[in-house]
Amino acid sequence: MNKIITIGREFGSGGREFGRRLSELLGIAYYDQEILSEISKRTSLSEQYVQAIVEHRPSFSFPIHIGQSFYPLGNPAFEQTMTVYQEQERIITEMAAKSDCVIVGRCADHILRAFKPFRIFVYADMHSKMKRCCEKGPEDEQLSDKELRQKIAGIDKKRAKYYEFYTGHPWGDKLNFDLCLNTTRTVIKEIVPAVAKIFA
Amino acid sequence: MNKIITIGREFGSGGREFGRRLSELLGIAYYDQEILSEISKRTSLSEQYVQAIVEHRPSFSFPIHIGQSFYPLGNPAFEQTMTVYQEQERIITEMAAKSDCVIVGRCADHILRAFKPFRIFVYADMHSKMKRCCEKGPEDEQLSDKELRQKIAGIDKKRAKYYEFYTGHPWGDKLNFDLCLNTTRTVIKEIVPAVAKIFA
């Protein structure tokens, strides 16, 4: 089996840790922040700006997949967003063509569909995501439970909108994945060897 | 990790084959038809009748989980249904208490929640389920595509209603499972050793 593995994940579910550990165990490349750096290099936009763009869908009412002819040309913000997205698409495709890899987020499951990647979605219940956030980020410890819940839900809402805008598919729908992994009761370190065995 | 494994599955997704192979590889019990036979023995109802009951929720508008005091006592069909369900619950609990096992369907994930079972859901896209049905059952080959699609959707609709009636939870919701496995692009025989490794 080829080892092009894409990982979608809910915020706080440990999807990034899972992806990193899986790539290490399989001895293949892991792409996450590297993609932003490369986009930034190629577009001469700052990494922060690129990050902001790839975390929001453009505020236009029609989706990208209906075709280029509808783009409101002449709108610089929209054009920059499209440039970033197209560059991201190009970079992810180049990376997958170059070697086996794990790619976290960034609609990679959709972008790489011609490669027939193994598509994983990592999720967890809210309580477990809140706990993980507090363990990982001291800034989340300052938030009340309500605020933290809102933060997590808000980030996932943005991811869902972004994914749906660019792919035309609902975010997190299990039919779009080969394997969905609930980390609520699972120790990530312990489940990784099992998942790695799929590619053995 | 204990090896109480429950498997929910869409009709035609290969969940039963997956469960059987997993139990064989782990060397633990596999319960499916055995549960019906045992209910039949204990209630003196025929296996066919028991099967018919456990495939349909009773046609009453309130769910079982709101408590026994609402049962319409004196309605023999309803009482028989409840007897079968309670017997099923008792048998499944006895089986799990006795030894490690794989149990397919029958709301076992909910019935055994105190055991903290590992809960797997097996699913696939409609095209793949239709293909599998035709390969497994010669009677399905006689159906038109439309008829087969309706049959599959109909069986899953019944399963969903049954599950929701008895558990109070939506059927197939990934949050109620530890692992969801899409068999559309997967050879079941090949994925089983990876899943078995979770329990190694």
**pLDDT (tens digit per residue) in B64-119:** 444 444 445 567 777 777 888 888 899 999 999 999 999 999 899 999 999 999 99
pTM strictly above 0.90:
no
pLDDT at residue number A72:
52
Binned average pLDDT, 10 residues per bin, chain A of 200 residues: 90 95 95 83 80 66 46 66 85 91 93 95 97 85 90 93 90 95 95 94
Per the CB < 8 A criterion, the answer to whether B123 and B183 are in contact is yes
pLDDT at residue number A127:
96
How close does chain B come to A186, measured CA to CA in Å?
8
Render pLDDT for B142-174 as a digit per residue (tens, 0 to 9): 889 999 999 999 999 999 998 998 889 999 999
Minimum CA–CA partner of B195 in chain A: A194
Per the CB < 8 A criterion, the answer to whether A120 and A195 are in contact is yes
Which chain B residues are Cβ-neighbours of A181 within 8 angstroms? 178-179
Instruction: Tell whether the model's pLDDT for residue B2 goes beyond 80.
Output: no
The CA distance from B88 to B106, in Å, is 8
Whether residues A178 and B179 touch (CB distance < 8 A) is answered with no
The CA distance from A56 to A58, in Å, is 6
Strands B179-182 and A179-182: antiparallel
pLDDT at residue number B5:
97
Minimum CA–CA partner of B198 in chain A: A194
pLDDT at residue number B156:
94
Which chain A residues are Cβ-neighbours of B197 within 8 angstroms? 193-194, 197
- Whether residue A191 lies within 8 A of chain B, CB to CB, comes out as yes
Render pLDDT for B31-45 as a digit per residue (tens, 0 to 9): 988 887 888 888 888
pLDDT at residue number B66:
45
pLDDT at residue number A58:
55
- Whether residue B116 lies within 8 A of chain A, CB to CB, comes out as yes
pLDDT at residue number B86:
86
Amino acid at B46: S
How close does chain B come to A139, measured CA to CA in Å?
27
Instruction: Tell whether the model's pLDDT for residue B197 goes beyond 50.
Output: yes
pLDDT at residue number B67:
44
DSSP-based three-state secondary structure for A171: coil
CA-only gyration radius of chain A, Å? 17
Residues 6+ apart with CB under 8 A from B177: A180, A182, B8, B109, B119, B120, B121
Q: What percent of chain A has pLDDT over 70?
A: 89
Mean pLDDT of all residues in chain B? 86
Provide the CB-side half-sphere exposure for B26 (13 A, CA): 26
pLDDT at residue number A63:
47
Of residues B19 and B84, more confidence is placed in B19
pLDDT at residue number A56:
65
The CA distance from A80 to A58, in Å, is 10
- Whether residue A29 lies within 8 A of chain B, CB to CB, comes out as no
- Which of residues 36 through 95 in chain B touch A, CB cutoff 8 A? none
